[in-house]
Structure 1
Amino acid sequence: MKVVKLGGSLLEQPEALKAMFQSLKQTYDKTLLVHGGGALVQQWLATAGLHSEKQDGIRVSPEQHMPYIVGGLAGAANKTLMKYAIAQGIKPMGITLYETGISCVQRSETLGQVGVCEIPEVMPAVGLISDLLAHGYLPVISSIGFGENGDWFNVNADDAAVAVAATYNAELLFLTDVEAVLDGGGKPLSHLNSDTIHELTQTGVIKDGMLVKVRGALEAAKRLRRCVRIGSWNLMNNPFSGTQISE
């Protein structure tokens, strides 16, 4: 089984989405797709006249913002992905983290309804996910979670993907809008670890948005205690493409 974390930027690239779902047609019975959609949420909040701010890259999510955040992530973004999946002959099922068996708790009061996933100690042997896969459905999981009392939470999509991968002991792929992490000469790097990431960061080769992606992938590799890959939708067809990230 593999967990594919879809970068929010791909939601605005129809051709990339089409290609990704085309490549999933042969293996989606063993795939869980996790997504965010920060740009869409920002747009919805702005349209509603609500000021949104971030702390250390995390969107502060007060209760009054949550209908727009949930609507953007579990609604519009999720159903957009379903639309592209259906067009390629795939049977998608849009769900939240709750349906995967993962419960969430509040990260901190200052961040509002920002959630942290509680990874189950034992992998769910039966349940909705196994049933969906057995019946040929592709679970499309938004990064919206729920607590034991029904409180809803906005979860960082990278963290959500790591939690799902850890819960189901699955391979984790981070899909972005680039084919791989590039070296100083613009050539793809096949493998990175903590040391090489630090070196390339210090020399300015890895920076800006890619630095955020690489650090997230490295943190995921440490938490999962296994390599993860970061790259474009080509990872679906070629498991050795992109960049492998290890501790």
Structure 2
Amino acid sequence: MDSNDWLHGFRHSSPYINAHRGRTVVLSLGGEALAHGNLIHIIHDITLLSSLGVRLVLAFGARPQIRERLDRAGLPSRIEDGLRVTPEEQMPSVIDAVGQLRAYLESQLSMGLVNSPMHGARIRVTSGNLIAARPVGVLNGVDFGHTGRVRRVDVAGINGLLDAGHIVLLPPLGYSPTGDMFNLSYEDVGSHVAAALEAEKLIIFTGETGVLDTDGHLIRELTVGQARQQLHEAGMAGHAGDLLRAACDACARGVRRSHIISYSHDGALLEELFTRDGSGTMVSDDNYEQIRPARVGDMGGILELIQPLEEQGILVRRSEDRLETELDRFIVVERDGSIVGCAALYAYPADKVGELSCFAVDQQYRRSGRGDDILAMIEKMARGQGLDRLFVLTTQTEHWFRERGFVPSRVDELPGPKYEGYDSQRNSKVFVKALGQ
């Protein structure tokens, strides 16, 4: 590896660092992940994320540890429909396993040795009765005892801890108003908490690199619809199916993205968050919000979105006829049936450069990362067309583009056709960004 590779990577991670600062991310780790040798590196990465201002919730499981204690006590370990049956006499084993894991995680997150990556971190880790639960009850004639499901998440309590800079640790236990305790699925806890907190991301750790197709190859991106089709057609069962269902459920409830990554791959968490391609599988909702190519039926929504900006002089005016002619250059952000963002890519293949144009986000949805998502999609499209640079003409949004890697350029460096049509009275500034392949 070139000695400057780390410097290049560090510099190019800054947009991702800015995008995630102040956002809530829920991490979901099973008992297998907590027993793996790579856990210490995951802990170090969690510490780094916390120091970068990411609001972190860590939901953890304890299945292998519970099974070990039941075996040691000579008690049966019964699984029905993917859920552990938890008779009252087994709860002490469950509490013991979960309690020891919680204490272990707290100790690991408290490390501060001089020669460790956590030196000076001073992380505060807090847990508590933040999950209300209800019993599963009797299903198909089976009494699940003290096995439960999430009933309610203490959103105010968790947000208060996150606002104070704490990492919130959620064990797979829930409590009822009657004072009963229930053994929960950590996948259920992670998915419900991410949705209740309106988290930016739910990140689920698994023993694989992510979701694999029938040939064993990693699937990098899935919509919720595609993921559910994968569950049905591929017949995914067991733990892998549970994880993918949890990712789908979170997105269907409003979480922007869920990610399934490996707990055995060192650096998978940072790679997923701070690189373009990530390390595992990303699941995003295809009904609630999506970025997609524009269609004829989107014209009304695009015009409604850009007209106020045209009146303010931020965007160049476009007639409806021109928009219809150039619609194949546009992408839109559709949220629950409404167009809340758009942009267009005009390519100049001879110069291997593209223009980012008609870039707009509804005022109600600004400052939530949608502009960055649109820019990322336009950059991806430009690279796919063999372009190596992207330019933009702007009169009022200079700093937004500069913060995302665009640098000032001269009008006479524009592609010939664009230079010839440049409106000197508008006096737009030119910014260019190199596109890494």
TM-score range, shorter chain: 0.7 to 0.9
Question: For residues 219-238 of structure 1, what are the structure 2 equivalents within 5 Å?
Answer: 219-224=249-254, 226-232=256-262, 234-238=268-272
What SS does the aligned partner of 1:175 have? strand
Note if 1:140 corresponds to 2:174: no
Q: Which has the higher contact order (CA 8 A, sep 6+)?
A: 1
Q: Tell me the equivalent position of 2:282.
A: 244
Does structure 1 retain, via aligned residues, the 8 Å contact 2:126–2:168? Answer: yes
Does structure 2 retain, via aligned residues, the 8 Å contact 1:17–1:84? Answer: no
Note if 1:20 corresponds to 2:51: no
Q: Tell me the equivalent position of 1:83.
A: 107
What SS does the aligned partner of 1:119 have? strand
Structure 1: distance between partners of 2:66 and 2:92: 10
Superposed CA deviations along residues 79-125 of structure 1, whole A, max 9, x for unmatched, are 222232223345353524x2x2x3111111410011121235x941x
Superposed CA deviations along residues 161-218 of structure 1, whole A, max 9, x for unmatched, are 1121122211211122333223455443221135544565566596664333223322
Q: 1:84 to 1:237 in 2, by over 3 A?
A: farther
With normalisation by structure 2, the TM-score equals 0.49
Note if 1:9 corresponds to 2:47: no
Kindly provide the amino acid, as one letter, of the partner of residue 245 in structure 1.
V
Q: Tell me the equivalent position of 1:44.
A: 69
- Give unmatched runs, 5+ long, in structure 2: 1-23, 112-117, 286-437
Question: For residues 1-247 of structure 1, what are the structure 2 equivalents within 5 Å?
Answer: 1-14=24-37, 16-28=38-50, 30-73=55-98, 75-87=99-111, 88=118, 89=121, 91-93=123-125, 95-96=127-128, 98=129, 100=130, 102-109=131-138, 110-119=143-152, 123-124=155-156, 127=157, 129-170=158-199, 171-184=201-214, 186-197=216-227, 200=230, 204=234, 209-224=239-254, 226-232=256-262, 234-239=268-273, 241=278, 242-247=280-285
Kindly name which structure, 1 or 2, has the bigger radius of gyration based on alpha carbons. 2
More strand by share: 2
Kindly provide the amino acid, as one letter, of the partner of residue 22 in structure 1.
H
Instruction: Report the CA distance between 1:43 and its aligned residue.
Output: 0.5
Q: 1:238 to 1:153 in 2, by over 3 A?
A: same
Instruction: Report the CA distance between 1:70 and its aligned residue.
Output: 1.5
Superposed CA deviations along residues 49-99 of structure 1, whole A, max 9, x for unmatched, are 1112011010001111111111211x1121222232223345353524x2x
More helix by share: 1
Structure 1: distance between partners of 2:79 and 2:238: 17
Cα RMSD (Å) of the superposition?
Answer: 2.6
Kindly provide the amino acid, as one letter, of the partner of residue 116 in structure 1.
R
Q: 1:12 to 1:90 in 2, by over 3 A?
A: farther
Structure 2: distance between partners of 1:218 and 1:22: 28
Instruction: Report the CA distance between 1:148 and its aligned residue.
Output: 0.7
Kindly provide the amino acid, as one letter, of the partner of residue 59 in structure 2.
V
Structure 2: distance between partners of 1:94 and 1:50: 32
Q: 1:202 to 1:59 in 2, by over 3 A?
A: closer
What SS does the aligned partner of 2:146 have? coil
With normalisation by structure 1, the TM-score equals 0.83
Q: 1:152 to 1:207 in 2, by over 3 A?
A: closer
For these two proteins, the number of residue pairs brought into alignment is 238
